[in-house]
Chain A
Amino acid sequence: MSAGSFRQIGRKQRVREDRRFVSGDGRYVADIIFPNLAHVALVTSPHACARILAVDDSAALAAPGVVAVLWGDTLAAATKPLANSLDTPGVECYPLAVGVVRYVGEWVAAVVAETRQAAEDAAELIAVDYEPQAAVLTAETALDPASPPVHAGHGSNVLYNRTFVWGDVDAHFAEAAHQLGFRAVWRRNATVPLETFGVMARWHAGDGLLDVWASIQMPSYPEQIAGALDLKTSAVRVHYDVDVGGSYGVKRGIKHTVLVGHLTRLLGRPVRLIEDRLENLVGGDAHGPDRLFDVAVAYDDRGAIKSMRLRVVEDVGGHTGRAPLQLGKPVSAIVGPYRIASVAYEAIAVSTNKTGQTAVRGFGQAPTNFVIEMAIDKVARTLGLDRLAVRRRNFIPTEAFPYLIPSGSTYDSGDYHTVLDKAVALAGYEALEKKRDALRANGLLAGIGIATCLEPGGGNSAFEPLLNPKNKTTTWPESCRISVGRDGAVSAFITTSTAGQGHETLVATIVAEELDLPFDAIRVVHSDSLSGLPGNSPVASRMAIMLGGAATGAARKIRDQALAIAGRQLDREPTELELRDGFAQVKSAPAERIAWTDIAFIAHRFDHLMPAEQEPGLQASFVWQVPMGGALPSADGRVQMYPCYSFAAHIVLATIDPDTGVVALPDYAIAHDCGTVINPDIVKGMVLGGTAHGIGAALYETFLYDETGQLITGSFADYPMPSAHEVPDIKLVEHCTPSPHTSHGQKGVGEGGYLAAPAAIASAVNAALAVRGLEILTLPMRPVDLEALLNGND
């Protein structure tokens, strides 16, 4: 299955959503205004850990424009705790603190007012009397059983600790000619979108219905709202036709939503909370992985890695939720693209008195790829072997697919050798080495970095039962409904919000392909959670696979219905017919045909011409369970995690100014394989955009806390995200190993370059440092970190 065999898939097609964005016509949550809308501002904790002794909101309540002040105990009495993914019944989190505050920025009270300005004015008038307590501020402290529990009901700060052993790790290490080990750190950061989280809720008392508009990207969002507010899911209508200004995993705002959901019911008017940037960075619970890795690999004289031990401690912060499952996702590609025979994986999640964590692009795979690639580089360096050669030696060869990895996932398809070859050619590797040498001769440190990394795609709920055996869930679908009007106009309905991934374009392309109609003739509509079918939101690089599959399924049902109608008209079997260019025609005699528009009209108006037993109209739904899914993990934690595996090879040249520690990336080349490309511009955007996120994580971005638990990088002035100056021109080349599991061979690419870029840049910087006999194993590698490493002994 190659792109050449499709008529629309893979061809240049303008992304439909762009048209409204360039006109300033996007519809983001803050753009949607209702009369009588009330606004929320938050009172937040100044302490990392404290008991709340007394509160006084009298001045706030008397302030102009103030409608209400809500406190945590009131909210907790009226709602259920926010959902946790781990088996931690003693951990109860509510949107507002109840009795204790667990991190700086935690929400303590919500002020509701006629304007956001008035709410902020009143928030300043609220007095809270705190009794500060000792705070737990590092993962190491949290692991100490003597550390005061962040969640008293849980009893300790270890939320999760399990060691998975797949294969005979001990024996492989004992037998191996060599082993090496290292510690690496992925410091807390996040993919921070430019739009903060926002939500507006409106309760209709007469209908008993809660309408929600939000900048959301979260599975089971309506269900979690319903659960917390003690409503049936049929009483919650989430509107998915809100444009989301970027998410990359993080827009989970469940505490925001429960808060405004409660307030709108209480106050009988629509209520909105649009985070400001300080609320977002400090207390929005949108920080990403914060990991301490201990890695060991056992290998032979030629650098073939037989076994790996991987221990990771994840600092989850003060709020839990779904984020700890990010320790589970890497199980899906725990050996990377390599033929490692056995793995021991110890995953530990701890609570600390820091901002809560959310899912971030890759759901834990980017940090994991960083350490896997670090291991391969170290093996090569230790043996004095070429890093490309060692990778090639370890790669799963293309003839070995589908390939079962020790942790129970089968990789669907791939050709890692060819993709790496393409990257090497694109990078002009030999010329790149000469350029590196010339830069070195000019006084810079310089190094070439290589990363060859997987991007599992498609999603699967399997990490839920993997990390919490009490949660025996195996369902993970996506849906599409198609409706054809009496004039033949096609509308496809999807049950997801979109944050720039181009789902309307994706679905229009697929439906147009299947029905052989023009792209512009397919309208795509975002349903709401009541009128829509089951879905799981655009996480896990899943929508090309899952939404593409659902749209295909629905479209093929429509096709079948249409061909049945046409068959009756043309007196032919439907199997003799095909849809082509707006007609149903006989394959062997195309002049015998009937127009699509006529078929549609018959379906709606001429029951007497319809095939027997066929419903009137022309519409179909398809709900698609994730391929390769449906199974619970085995006792030793093996299960098929994700169905599809995309792959990329990044080759990057980095320079370090030895005096200042500043890194530049003069050359960057990427070869990527995401199976069949549905829209080339969207795919390119995901690879480049993900790489830019990766540059941020590798060189610039981290959330830093001081010794009292204050977040000292809590504004955009101190959290430096890459601008156009920091992202170089990046060369791209594609390869295609289609997935056997998907409608058109497509795999996921939404996590894109983010899964390989940090590893590649770390590889380059370490190649540059190796000349001085130095290495750096902590990200981000900021100028101050590199300069101290280079010159700290001066």
Chain B
Amino acid sequence: MSDRQDITLTVNGVPVRDNIEPRTTLLDFLRDQVGLTGTHAGCEHGVCGVCAVLVDGTPMRSCLLFAVQLHGAAVTTVEGLNQADGSLSPIQDAFCETHGMQCGYCTPGMLIAVHDLLAHNPDPDDEAIREAIGGTLCRCTGYGQIIEAVRLAAARLRQAVPAEDIDQ
């Protein structure tokens, strides 16, 4: 039997401390220990991309990380993408506008992937959009309305930020 370990990390800006088995994936840790059920399990073997979170700002599959590995790291889940006042972010709002989801199960993973894309590429073409979401499966939408959401979100974000302020 393995020894449990102490870990401390930040989740959505909030410090979390726990004592867990090393085999606890970050996915299970977030859902079961931290109680954030927005991140979903699709396959638990790293293919579907539904479980994506940001680790120190970088999107990764949380089913392929053990929580103990994240000691000291900052993790952002889909809940962490929510605006503080409860209103929808431009990306969330765009997904609602174009109906870029149906059952919602892949949506957290999609939002994480899209958040990362638009943080680095404010004007992605369709190929860049497909590349960004290509590792996240959706079985409901056929991706069309998701791609529309990303285009819409990108346009709105570009409008909101004066061109000279965008980090090149």
Find B77's partner among A21, A24, A753 (CB 8 Å cutoff). Answer: A24
Contact, CB under 8 Å: A194 / B42? yes
Cβ of B121 < 8 Å from any Cβ of A? no
Nearest to A731 among chain B residues (CB) is B144
**Is A246 interfacial (CB-CB < 8 Å)?**
yes
Nearest CB of chain A from residue B104's CB, rounded to whole Å: 3
B143 touches A724 (CB 8 A): yes
Complex: A245 Cα to B38 Cα, angstroms: 12
**A30 and B41 form a contact (CB under 8 A):** yes
The answer to whether residues A28 and B145 also contact, given A14-B97, A194-B48, A243-B104 and a CB cut-off of 8 A, is: no
Stretch from A72-80, A341-349, A689-697 that touches the partner: A689-697
Q: What's the Cα separation between A730 and B99 when bound, in Å?
A: 16
Quick one: given A23-B79, A727-B142, are A194 and B105 in contact (CB under 8 Å)?
yes
Q: List chain A residues, Cβ under 8 A from B141.
A: 685, 688-689, 692
Give chain B interface residues in 20-44, CB to chain A under 8 Å.
Answer: 21, 23-24, 31, 36-44
Choice from B36, B47, B96, B135 contacting A18 with Cβ under 8 Å:
B96
Contact B105 A246 (CB under 8 A): yes
Contact status of A688 and B142, CB under 8 A, knowing A22-B88, A25-B38: yes
Which of A14, A24, A243, A693 meets B82, CB within 8 Å? A24
Q: By the criterion CB–CB under 8 Å, are A692 and B137 in contact?
A: no
Of the candidate stretches B3-11, B67-75, B106-114, B156-164, the one touching chain A is B106-114
The yes or no answer to A435 lying at the interface (CB within 8 A) is no
Contact status of A244 and B146, CB under 8 A, knowing A22-B95, A192-B139: no
Cβ of A46 within 8 Å of any chain B Cβ, yes or no, is: no
* Chain B residue nearest to A684 in the complex (CB): B145
Contact indicator A193/B41 (Cβ below 8 Å): no
- How many residues of chain B get a CB closer than 8 Å to chain A's CBs? 58
Whether A245 pairs with B105 at a CB distance below 8 angstroms is yes
Docked Cα-Cα span, A289 to B7, in Å, equals 48
Partner of B37, one of A30, A193, A727: A30
A707-729 interface bits toward B, Cβ cutoff 8 Å, 1 = contact, 0 = none: 00000000111000101110101
| Cross-chain contact B104 with A500 (CB below 8 angstroms) | yes
**DSSP class of B's interface residues: helix, strand, loop or mixed?**
loop
The docked-state distance in angstroms from the alpha carbon of A692 to that of B137 is 11
**B37 CB to nearest chain A CB (Å):** 4
Q: Which one of A24, A684, A689, A725 lies within 8 Å of B139 (CB-CB)?
A: A689
Known: A721-B139, A724-B143. A24 touches B108 (CB 8 A): yes
- The answer to whether B145 touches A501, judged by C-beta atoms less than 8 angstroms apart, is no
CA distance A685 to B101 in the complex (A): 8
Q: In the complex, what distance in Å separates the CA atom of A583 from the CA atom of B125?
A: 49
Interface core residue of A21, A244, A501, A682 (most chain B CB under 10 Å): A21
Bound together, the chains give a CA A21 to CA B77 distance in angstroms of 13
Q: Please measure, in the bound complex, the distance between the C-alpha atom of A194 and the C-alpha atom of B21, giving whole angstroms.
A: 27
Please give, as numbers and ranges, the residues of chain A lying within 8 Å of B139 by CB-CB distance. Answer: 191-194, 246, 248, 689, 692-693, 721
A–B Cβ pairs within 8 angstroms, 13 of them: A18-B100, A18-B104, A26-B105, A117-B23, A191-B139, A193-B105, A194-B50, A194-B137, A499-B102, A681-B98, A684-B144, A688-B142, A715-B45
Q: Which residues of A contact B (CB under 8 A)?
A: 14-15, 17-26, 28, 30-31, 64, 117, 191-195, 243-248, 276-277, 499-502, 681-682, 684-685, 688-693, 715-717, 721, 723-725, 727, 729-730, 753
